Structure 1
Amino acid sequence: MRKFLYIVLITGTLASCSEYQKALKSEDTKVKYQLAERFFKEAKYKKASRLFEQIVPKYRGKPQGERVTYLYARSLFETGYYFTSAYQFERFVKTYPKSDSLQTASFLEAKSYYMESPRYSIDQKETIKAVDKLQSFINNYPDSKHLSDANVMVDELTTKIEKKAYEIAKQYNTISDYKSSIKATENFLSDYPGTSFREDAMFLKLSATYNLATKSFKTLMEDRFGEAASAYRSLVKFYPESKYREEADEIMATITEELAKFTK
């Protein structure tokens, strides 16, 4: 019995492959369309996408054009070709602004960009684009069933962008470019006032200003240690129980000692 079922399965698979190959080579658009629809319903998205790709141009301006274009974009998305699916959904939205599938297409366009977002250590151009697309969707469809998912994705991507910016400021401090670290940290705190990295950035500013002061000429030390003391006060004001408190207190003790030298 098992052997029989195995033979039936293999036979069915071969027949399906043969049918698919014939459709790819066929000049009959209807045959391609019907088989692409079937493959889509069977979740055979890669095969469906290849067939839809061949017939999309032939259905432009025709009643079936809207459905073919949408299913082509969906097939690409389900297959994981997010860069191409984003482009196809964008075309769909522009071409069929009155479609019943417009909202879903707009969400999947934005989600395609979200899926293309790289890890935080890489250039975040695509991440910024994904946030813009998702925010546009949220603004256009505030009552959408996809709203919750869109907000979660925006939060995730925003955190990634913030982490990238924070790590850049941190790297400057690591390589002893303290002026650049201070500037980058100040810009970071200004650009992302609600960031989850705010405490980290405020301690980083303290560390960078302190390090800069210790490496400065004597004529600049008093002012720079004063700036470091100000950074310390800001940190403990907003985060009195900071995870950096012990280290910050040690730095401040040294700052106090250094400033005392200028009052003698």
Structure 2
Amino acid sequence: MKKIYLIAFSVLLLASCGKYNKALKSDDVDKKFTLAKEYYEIGIQEEKKSKLNKAIRLLEQIQPALKGKPQDEVVSYMIANAYYTIGDHFISGYRFDRYAKSFPDSPKIEEALYKSANSYFEVSPKYSLDQEDTHKAIDKLQFYVNAFEDGEFFNKANEQLAVLRDKLERKDYEVAKQLHHRRIWRPAIHALGNFIDNHPGSKYNENAYFYKFESQYIYAVNSFRAIERERLEKAVEYYNDFVSKYPDSEFMEQAELHKKEIDDELYYLELLDL
């Protein structure tokens, strides 16, 4: 009995493949579309990549012939959504973006705009890599939430915006922090200052304020005597900024040691009349 089932399954599989291959070679647009729609609906319902890949291939074959015709909108959506469902977000982002631009009055415009944005969200890399796709995702998600304040995906889009902005924030912080850790003091001071200015409410600001102060302190004590005082006084300014904002910081003990060394050095410079 088991052997009979296997034979029957093999026959059905071959018939299905034969039907698909025959449609691929056919010039009949209607036949291709009918079969593509069948594969698409099964693929969406059952999340079968194999069916959706077949649908995509057939639909992409007939799309040029449908340019400017009513079916073009349907086919464009099906292709974009098939790529989206199989997880090929690089292509689905582009496809849904093009769909939204080509059919701005479509009843599926909200869905298309969100799925385009979400596709870029899905391909946004970890914070340490280039963030071009992250910026694209932010722009598209922001456009969506501005356009659809009562939209189906409004809350999720805002949550995704927060995730992406935190990623960019962390990248900025890590770049500035690495300058400090690599002892490149002057660029570190500048980068940490910019980070604080650009991210006033950041969860990384306690570290940023301390590293900025420490960078200025070390930069100052390694300066020529003639300019050391001015740089030490700037370090005192950064110290005051840090302790006023984070009096209970885990870095406080180290900050106070640096401050004592600054005071001693300023006293010594005073004796030298520098």
Superposed pair shares fold, TM > 0.5: yes
What's 1:63 paired with? 70
What's 2:111 paired with? 104
Shift, 1:188, TM fit:
1.5
Per the alignment, in what secondary structure is the counterpart of residue 269 of structure 2?
coil
What's 1:74 paired with? 81
What's 2:164 paired with? 157
Residues 1-264 of structure 1 mapped to structure 2, 5 A cutoff: 1-43=1-43, 44-264=51-271
Distance 1:53 1:198 in 2: 50
Structure 2 alignment gaps of length 5 or more = 44-50
Provide the TM-score with structure 2 as the length reference: 0.88
Query: How has the CA–CA distance of structure 1 residues 144 and 222 changed in structure 2, closer, same or farther, with 3 Å as cutoff?
Result: same
Shift, 1:3, TM fit:
4.2
Distance 2:14 2:250 in 1: 63
Identity %: 38
Distance 1:192 1:126 in 2: 21
Q: Encode CA deviations 1:190-232: one digit per residue, 9 max, x unaligned.
A: 2222223222221221221122112211222222222222222
Instruction: Choose 105-114 or 17-26, whichever is displaced more.
Output: 17-26
Provide the TM-score with structure 1 as the length reference: 0.91
Distance 1:58 1:250 in 2: 76
Instruction: Choose 177-186 or 237-246, whichever is displaced more.
Output: 237-246
Distance 1:127 1:262 in 2: 50
CA RMSD of aligned residues (A): 1.9
Distance 2:9 2:262 in 1: 78
Larger radius of gyration: 2
Distance 1:78 1:111 in 2: 12
Structure 1 alignment gaps of length 5 or more = none
AA in 1 matched with 2:112: A
Query: How has the CA–CA distance of structure 1 residues 242 and 49 changed in structure 2, closer, same or farther, with 3 Å as cutoff?
Result: farther
Instruction: Choose 254-263 or 25-34, whichever is displaced more.
Output: 254-263
Shift, 1:176, TM fit:
2.3
Query: How has the CA–CA distance of structure 1 residues 255 and 8 changed in structure 2, closer, same or farther, with 3 Å as cutoff?
Result: farther
Per the alignment, in what secondary structure is the counterpart of residue 262 of structure 1?
helix
Q: Encode CA deviations 1:11-54: one digit per residue, 9 max, x unaligned.
A: 43333333222222221111221222122222232222222211
Q: Encode CA deviations 1:49-89: one digit per residue, 9 max, x unaligned.
A: 22221122222222222111111111112223222222211
Distance 1:245 1:195 in 2: 19
Distance 1:22 1:167 in 2: 56
